[in-house]
Amino acid sequence: MDYIKTYESWLGDKRLNAEAKKELSELKGNNEDIEYRFGAELAFGTAGMRGIIGYGTNMMNVYTVKRATQGLSQFILKQGAEAVSRGVVISYDTRLKSDEFARAAAEVLAANGITAYLFDDVHPVPMLSFAVRNLNTYAGIMVTASHNPKQYNGYKVYGADGAQMSPEDTAVVVEYIKGITDYLGTPAPTEEQIKKYIKPVPAKVDKQYYKELTKLTISKKAIKKYGKDLKLVYTPVHGSGYIPVTTILKKIGINATVVEEQTKKDTSFSTVEVPNPEFKETLSMGIALADKIGATVVFGTDPDSDRLGVAVKNKEGEFEALSGNQVGILLLDYILTRLKEENALPANAAVVKSFVTTGMAKAICNKFGVELFEVPVGFKFIGEKIKLWEKDHSHTYVFGFEESCGYLRGTHARDKDAVVASMLCAEMVCYYTSVGKTVYQRLQEIYAEYGYVLDCNISVPFKGLHAMDDMNKVVDSLKVNPATSFDIYKVTTVRDYSKNIKTDVETGKTSEIGSPLTNCVYYELENGSFICVRPSGTEPKLKIYFSVKANNKQSAETALEKMQAAAKQLLGV
């Protein structure tokens, strides 16, 4: 039982801080907990690290953060003097220990002679991404676990382009991290190094971020006429979106009523079960306030403000929480409509979405003559498209989105931006108010025009030390005996993203998908619907995505029920 030896070595190490010593001492005799904490190392993948806060090699704590940062430091040092001098910018959200972890990362960088620009208060993911580009740093670090429950924290690394670090560079960093076996032995900076290498992020960075966002407004007349009297409710859900969202709305002239109780930096997120705004329950306080003031739209951002959740009042006068796919098609339709009306839609305009995101995007893009590109799950792949088109000028990026409530308009950032999405959401309400509609009414018009599509996903949780391996085995099993139907819905094509190959079920003919490799199986169904299965990259959950095309909502719901039952039977979950 090597994990017992590792546990005892930590507990007996004089370098262990008092908090860790107390926490680990209380575990004596609890082999199950000790095995979870010390039986593995917290994985560092293409999305960085994410785990439960606590001490141990498989947990999020100051030692795993320092070890990861030492690996990143060695990577940067290897790139040469210019990379070292450009340095790293660091941000963090409102989660427990986020500020402590951010400071620890800065000190490790300083100990290696690498400049660390550290925000003096919480800042969201998009502002970190912007700061990397604005300050021309070589990398960025964001301390967050996004929308995970309060017990979690995480650590994301960004490349020089402002997108999450590429899989290739991440693989190199991971090798450096693996080479560090002494968790408690990362270098500590001298006072001189702290003064020399740890610098505050200049205040001008925030100002320039807001300036870039104001350039993206399209419906200026509607904002001017209706913005100041708008009945719109916003909640930051105790996260880092409070200041930036309210600031940008004020700058463009839109009034929003804020859920005051949820503006506090509460590390326990005590007013919600989970700080995930895609759930109606998370927006419940906002909905109650909206009912009180007569608002028809409620929106909220998650702790690191990269995801936007929206609820709208339906024709019965009740609030419905929209899915990420529904918000995505509303924003896509709005942006393309308004750009065309303003004669500002580029001839080579392009939209990017993840391949698990709604198929309705294709129909909308076709109407406007805009090319749609599909990429694997992970906003960094959308960022890669932006980077490519800036070099070859083959396309002009207009909008990108993922079904997981992530949206980006503009190229100021290279990750999901719930600040700009909040601005667009508020602007969209102004525009539809100006033409005598609600957002809900426009959504129904979209369905009437393009046909009804019901998109949803379910998550199957896995537990234990080997949860990630177990999830991948389930996906791998689908490649051995591929399904040919789901209930009455025949499979036409099977995409195996782990091999970059798609297979025509009827002919057996194969061809390349043309996508980065990822462990995912995707079934194209005969009526244009799809089912996709993949392991989550951030949580121990198997994700199953469904996109159902039908004549109406009732037919779609009936079809979805059959498809879900068939999928669960196939997977044995």
Which residues are catalytically annotated?
146
Torsion of CA 353, 358, 359, 363, to 10 degrees: -80
Distances 71 to 46, 115, 131, 442 between C-alpha atoms, Å? 14, 15, 22, 49
Helices (H), 204-260: 204-214, 220-226, 242-252
Give the three-class secondary structure for 236: coil
Residue 147, token pair as written in the block: 């929308």
Alpha-carbon gap, residue 308 to 331, rounded angstroms:
12
Give the three-class secondary structure for 334: helix
Alpha-carbon gap, residue 518 to 498, rounded angstroms:
5
Those residues with Cβ within 8 angstroms of residue 408's Cβ, 6 or more apart along the chain or in another chain: 126, 379, 382, 399, 400, 401, 414, 415, 416, 417, 420, 421
Those residues with Cβ within 8 angstroms of residue 363's Cβ, 6 or more apart along the chain or in another chain: 450, 451
Helical pair 553-571 and 467-480, crossing angle rounded to 10 deg: 100
Those residues with Cβ within 8 angstroms of residue 169's Cβ, 6 or more apart along the chain or in another chain: 75, 159
Alpha-carbon gap, residue 319 to 290, rounded angstroms:
9
Task: Please write down the HEC assignment for all residues of 71-96.
Answer: HHHHHHHHHCHHHHHHCEEEEECCCC
Q: State the DSSP H helix or E strand holding residue 154, giving kind and residue range, or none if neither.
A: strand 152-158
Q: Identify which of 528, 520, 240, 491 has the alpha carbon closest to the alpha carbon of residue 361.
A: 528
Q: State the DSSP H helix or E strand holding residue 64, giving kind and residue range, or none if neither.
A: helix 62-79
Q: State the DSSP H helix or E strand holding residue 383, giving kind and residue range, or none if neither.
A: helix 379-392
Sign for the CA dihedral angle at 341, 344, 348, 352 comes to negative
Alpha-carbon gap, residue 393 to 183, rounded angstroms:
46
Spatial contact of 162 and 156, defined as CB atoms under 8 Å apart? no
